[in-house]
A = this chain, B = another copy of it.
Amino acid sequence: MERVVASVPGRKSDTKERILDAALHLFATRGYENTSLDFLASSLGLSKQAVLYWFKSKDILLQAVIERDVTELISVLEAALSDAGEGWERMEAVVKSVFRIGVMRPELLELIREVNRVDSSASEMLVALLTPLMERASQFLQAEMVAGRFRKRDPRLVILATYSMVLGVLTDLKAMKALGEEPSVRLLVKWRQELLTFLRDALLIEADTGR
């Protein structure tokens, strides 16, 4: 409806990527059902059919967004889960990674929330993508517990709780409003620290790691 960049109809266009970008943004911020192909297309200065040329259906578009962006997200987390040192350091690295994403590309996290909600083949895809990561995280936690560094808990609960907490702090903006806070980067930085401490107290077994 505004962005009539009008790339030459000829060859080699970056349209596909631009559609994926817009879809990520709109699905995340306005919701999947609430984003029509017409709206999405015209926000790029395209007709709906151009979108349907690249992605045969809306559902397939959603799947493509997930495949591109969630895969990226997961690889970032996988990296954090592998790189950093032992025990708490590693846990901290993962949480910090998520926060970094939450600040720089909040739409990625909102997309996950959204896909988790929508009833489509896309959500199964998300589960399939997420499962190995969960499995790795679970094994990490279990190892830490056996080593006596983390309190013994059901690792799956720890994951789900942490996941919900971090995602919640980063995406539940409406709830923030009810708390009388406007979300800002400054606040998120502060809360990241507090949340890490919160998690540490909950997980780590006291061994005066330098309080």
Q: Which A positions have Cβ atoms within 8 angstroms of B?
A: 30-31, 33-34, 113-114, 116-119, 123, 126-127, 130-131, 134, 138, 151, 153-154, 156-161, 163-165, 167-169, 172, 174-181, 190-191, 194-195, 197-199, 201-203
Contact A156 B127 (CB under 8 A): no
Give Cα A88 to B142, complex, Å.
Answer: 28
On whether the beta carbons of A131 and B201 are closer than 8 Å, the reply is: no
Complex contacts, A168 vs chain B, CB 8 Å: 160-161, 163-165, 167-168
Q: Are B33 and A178 in contact (CB under 8 A)?
A: no
In the complex the two chains form, what is the Cα distance from A154 to B85 in whole Å?
29
Is chain A's binding surface mostly helix, strand, loop or mixed? helix
* Known A33-B31, A202-B199: A157·B169 in contact at CB below 8 Å: yes
The minimal Cβ–Cβ distance linking A40 to chain B, given in whole angstroms, is 15
Instruction: State in angstroms the CA–CA spacing of A191 and B79 once bound together.
Output: 29
Q: What are 30 sample pairs from A and B whose C-beta atoms fall under 8 A apart?
A: A31-B33, A116-B172, A116-B174, A123-B174, A126-B174, A127-B174, A127-B177, A130-B178, A134-B178, A151-B201, A154-B191, A156-B180, A156-B181, A157-B191, A157-B194, A157-B198, A158-B198, A159-B179, A160-B168, A160-B175, A161-B195, A163-B172, A163-B175, A164-B167, A164-B169, A164-B175, A165-B165, A165-B168, A168-B168, A199-B202
